[in-house]
Structure 1
Amino acid sequence: MSDRNKISVAVIDMNNGVINQGMRGIQEILTRYREEMDIDLHFEVFDLRQKGEIPDLDHDIYISSGGPGSPYDGEGQPWENDFFSLLDKILAFNALQELNKKHVFLICHSFQMACRKFGLGQVVKRRSTAFGIFPVFLTEAGEDDVLFSGLTNPFFTVDSRDWQVTNPEDALFAVADTQVLALEKERPHVDLDRCVMAIRFTNEIVGTQFHPEADPLGMKRYLLQEDKKAGIIANHGEEKYMDMLNSLEDPARIQLTQRIVLPNFLNRAINALQEA
């Protein structure tokens, strides 16, 4: 865009029509950021899986949401081809630009699809659903990454997944700009691979397995649903469930993560655009 004080954000909705709190969270963060930073920021939502809507290259920033189902659901489908093509176009565009690059944030389902596309790690189904508020551990690269500036290590966030990316020792993670930024907690007593929780794919493209857009209000609505409550108690016990519910009141947990991760991403992207 010609006017660097005008910022255009494309929000890609991967929810396939399923009602969720994530899209509300993303839009609330963008609205709050616009007001707090007093900038001319506009965002447009593209319903990709349900309606086949895909943004073009006219936007400065792209945020792609989580969503239900398998990250392999789109194989051979036009919407997945469109999504992968968009990533290719952004990579090609950025490769030709010295400064005026486009920035991308990929959440959960979008993150897993990007790992498939770029051949990073192994994208596999979990033995059981992970759902709740859990600690995330930063790697050395993650501690140095501006995305997590202002968070403790570990920090707490909302994790909701049936699939995950494993094999963080994958040699491809050492290629070019790609870095593993965060991992789930170590579980030495369980013979399971440690899940990758955040990756910087390139200098401008980053993604998280967790939900940085989640806020206490949305999480409380989820936790109070009978099926979610039963699942957490079955997997982690009633004490853990009550701890999650009580932790929603703690400003140093998911409330802090929601106020830091995506705003840090926006700061970095917009500062780079305005410097250009």
Structure 2
Amino acid sequence: MDKKSLKVAVIDLNNGAPNQGMRGIQEILSRFRQENNIELTFDIFDLRQKGEIPGIEYDAYISSGGPGSPIESEGEKWENDFFNLLDQIEDFNLNHDDQKKHAFLICHSFQLACRKFKLGNVTERRSNAFGIFPITLTQDGELDEIFKGITNPFFSVDSRDWQVIEPNFDAFEKKGAKLLAIEKERKHVDLERCMMSIRFSNEIIGTQFHPEADPIGMKMYLLQEEKKKAIADLHGEQKYLDMLNSVDDPTKILLTQSIILPNFLKNAIRNFQEA
């Protein structure tokens, strides 16, 4: 079957908070549709604010980041619906050899999945992480098709108050999960490096960072007075200016945005073509 169409569900976990992530995801989907000349359609589901959740009829799922604690939502209906959907995707893939459902989980979605599968310790950071940072691929990450064409280390937008640390390797082995990327090494900081990307299964992958981030959105964030002050207070004025100057660097977030989510979509389509 020559798959020339792809039906994507985009799950919005922003809970109504202003963000650039949803725009970034939609732009990547629209560009991918145009560049690959396929019939790609997508629907948006506002899960936390409106309780909207997609069914199992989609080919691929992309779930966004979002504000707040990834722990305090335990037991809430929207979170249970999200976890049930992940279970449905895994059950479908287990029972269908000819076609698979693919899912990509970003930031808040990634943290929730790590908690669900007990792959690490989800903790609050000492301070907010915000900026463009280098991320290191593990050996498994260097071999993973999702990072094909990226550098090691590569750069991406990181924006979070929470993190997943202390990988539970017994749970990784039991699930067949792989740790693909970790936080940059900080030689003068005696803190555990957090997990930045995990392949939860052959078809489900997640990132702590934001692969959908683009220069337009990042500049809009950086030019906000409160963001400028927060970065300058924490890292100094020069660090802020360096960050602003690096936004348009073609080897940094532009490269990451052009590779990771498009690779995910290519894999989803390739799966159908092989079937």
Give the TM-score, by structure 2 length: 0.97
Q: Tell me the equivalent position of 2:226.
A: 227
Matches within 5 A, 1:25-44: 25-44=24-43
- In 1, Cα distance between the equivalents of 2:221 and 2:252? 17
Contact kept in structure 2, 1:168 and 1:194, CA below 8 Å: no
Matches within 5 A, 1:1-276: 4-168=3-167, 170-276=169-275
Using the TM superposition, give the Cα deviation of residue 188 of structure 1 relative to its aligned residue in structure 2, in angstroms. Answer: 3.0
- In 1, Cα distance between the equivalents of 2:148 and 2:61? 21
Counterpart residue identity of residue 94, structure 1 = N
Q: Which secondary structure does the structure 2 equivalent of 1:202 belong to?
A: coil
Q: Which secondary structure does the structure 1 equivalent of 2:136 belong to?
A: strand
Contact kept in structure 1, 2:119 and 2:168, CA below 8 Å: no
Pairs aligned (count): 275
Which stretch shows the higher mean deviation, 165-174 or 211-220? 165-174
Using the TM superposition, give the Cα deviation of residue 176 of structure 1 relative to its aligned residue in structure 2, in angstroms. Answer: 4.2
Question: After superposition, what is the alpha-carbon deviation per residue over 1:175-200, rounded to whole angstroms, capped at 9, x for unaligned?
Answer: 34300000011123212111100000
Counterpart residue identity of residue 179, structure 2 = V
Q: Give 5+ residue unaligned stretches, structure 1.
A: none
Using the TM superposition, give the Cα deviation of residue 227 of structure 1 relative to its aligned residue in structure 2, in angstroms. Answer: 1.2
CA-based RMSD of the aligned residues comes to 1.3
Detail structure 1 runs of 4+ shifted over 4 Å in the superposition.
none
Contact kept in structure 2, 1:65 and 1:107, CA below 8 Å: yes
- In 1, Cα distance between the equivalents of 2:151 and 2:163? 23
Using the TM superposition, give the Cα deviation of residue 99 of structure 1 relative to its aligned residue in structure 2, in angstroms. Answer: 2.8
- In 2, Cα distance between the equivalents of 1:203 and 1:148? 14
Counterpart residue identity of residue 5, structure 2 = K
Which stretch shows the higher mean deviation, 202-211 or 234-243? 234-243
Q: Which secondary structure does the structure 1 equivalent of 2:226 belong to?
A: helix
Using the TM superposition, give the Cα deviation of residue 169 of structure 1 relative to its aligned residue in structure 2, in angstroms. Answer: 5.9
Question: After superposition, what is the alpha-carbon deviation per residue over 1:86-112, rounded to whole angstroms, capped at 9, x for unaligned?
Answer: 001111111001130100000000000
Using the TM superposition, give the Cα deviation of residue 171 of structure 1 relative to its aligned residue in structure 2, in angstroms. Answer: 3.0
Structure 1 residues 101 and 189: alpha-carbon distance in aligned structure 2, compared to 1, 3 A threshold: same
Q: Among all aligned residue pairs of Structure 1 and Structure 2, give the percentage whose two residues are the same amino acid.
A: 65
Q: Give 5+ residue unaligned stretches, structure 2.
A: none
Give the TM-score, by structure 1 length: 0.97
- In 1, Cα distance between the equivalents of 2:101 and 2:2? 15
Contact kept in structure 2, 1:201 and 1:207, CA below 8 Å: yes
